[in-house]
């Protein structure tokens, strides 16, 4: 695989890319017993090169679980310049030290479902958008701009200078997300499950919010928590 391409796999991921950004698809490999005639018809109608391969050959192309009989070689994920993201007036979600591609992919998928969100991740000490992320995102990467920045604190300061409020999620001590009045436009800052938001970023927060656990005192993973916070942000900004 060329350095400027990556692999997209699974029916949903490939189908959504065919709808949203077919120009990014270089070629498609399908297993010989692949049964999705609508997908094949779309690929051929777009004049995208397609190759029929055995299951073993497909696994040699992309070693992963749940290939679902289809792999597409696509252009490497294109990050959005942070300045453009700020100008867009979407609600950016700053992810501090999120290292699990499953979580990052789930977050992108969740935010795509709500609409009106973007993601900001650091270049170092965190997961970038890789093959696993876009597979888990299930097409959400086509609808959520992602900015890759050198320093999250500097980027958050830039957003605040542009008029955004900084709202951070904390396990304890924040305002209840169910009753808090959120300021807009806003950035949501979320930390890793183990360490939370780092002190340097916490100093920049205008508001801290907490998701109270009324049942068992267990914690949600960052993707699950993101869904709850995104729901409340969307409810208040459109209400």
Contact call for residues 178 and 228 (beta carbons, < 8 A): no
Region 16-41: mean pLDDT is 96
The answer to whether the Cα torsion of 210, 214, 216, 222 is positive or negative is negative
Q: What is the pLDDT of residues 58-71, one digit of tens each?
A: 999 999 988 999 99
Q: What is the pLDDT of residues 125-168, one digit of tens each?
A: 899 999 999 999 999 999 999 999 999 999 999 999 999 999 99
Contacts of 149 (CB under 8 A, 6+ apart): 82, 120, 121, 122, 123, 155
- Alpha carbon 154 to its chain's center: 21
Beta strands in 165-218 (DSSP E): 165-169, 175-176, 186-190, 207-210
Considering the chain, what is the average pLDDT of its residues?
94
Helices (H) and strands (E) counted in the chain, each on its own, are 9, 11
Report the C-alpha gap between 120 and 192 in whole angstroms.
14
Region 16-38: mean pLDDT is 96
pLDDT band at 106 (very low <50, low <70, confident <90, very high): very high
What is the share, in percent, of the chain residues with pLDDT greater than 70?
Answer: 97
Residue 34 DSSP SS3: coil
pTM for this structure? 0.94
Domains of the chain: 5-75 (3.30.1330.30), 82-238 (3.40.1280.10)
Q: What is the pLDDT of residue 236?
A: 97
Q: What is the pLDDT of residues 165-209, one digit of tens each?
A: 999 999 889 999 999 999 999 999 999 877 889 999 999 999 999
């Amino acid at each position: 695989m060329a350095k400027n391409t990556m692999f997209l796999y699974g029916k949903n991921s490939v189908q959504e890319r065919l709808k949203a950004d077919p120009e990014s698809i270089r070629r498609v490999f399908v297993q010989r017993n692949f049964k999705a005639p609508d997908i094949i018809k779309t690929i051929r109608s777009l004049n995208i090169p397609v190759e029929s391969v055995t299951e073993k050959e497909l696994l040699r192309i992309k070693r992963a679980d749940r290939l679902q009989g289809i792999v597409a070689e696509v252009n490497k994920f294109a990050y959005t310049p942070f300045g453009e993201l700020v100008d867009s007036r979407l609600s950016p979600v700053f992810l501090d030290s999120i290292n699990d591609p499953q979580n990052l992919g789930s977050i992108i998928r969740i935010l795509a479902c709500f609409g009106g969100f973007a993601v900001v991740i650091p270049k170092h000490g965190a997961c970038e958008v890789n093959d696993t992320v876009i597979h888990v995102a299930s097409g959400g990467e086509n609808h959520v701009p992602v900015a890759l920045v050198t320093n999250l604190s500097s980027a958050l300061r830039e957003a605040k200078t542009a008029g955004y409020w900084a709202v951070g999620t904390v396990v304890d001590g924040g305002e209840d997300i169910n009753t808090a009045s959120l300021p807009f436009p806003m950035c949501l800052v979320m930390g890793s499950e183990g360490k939370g938001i780092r002190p340097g970023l916490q100093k920049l927060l205008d508001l801290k919010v907490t998701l109270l656990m009324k049942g068992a005192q267990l914690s949600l993973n960052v993707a699950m928590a993101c869904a709850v916070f995104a729901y409340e942000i969307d409810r208040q900004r459109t209400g």
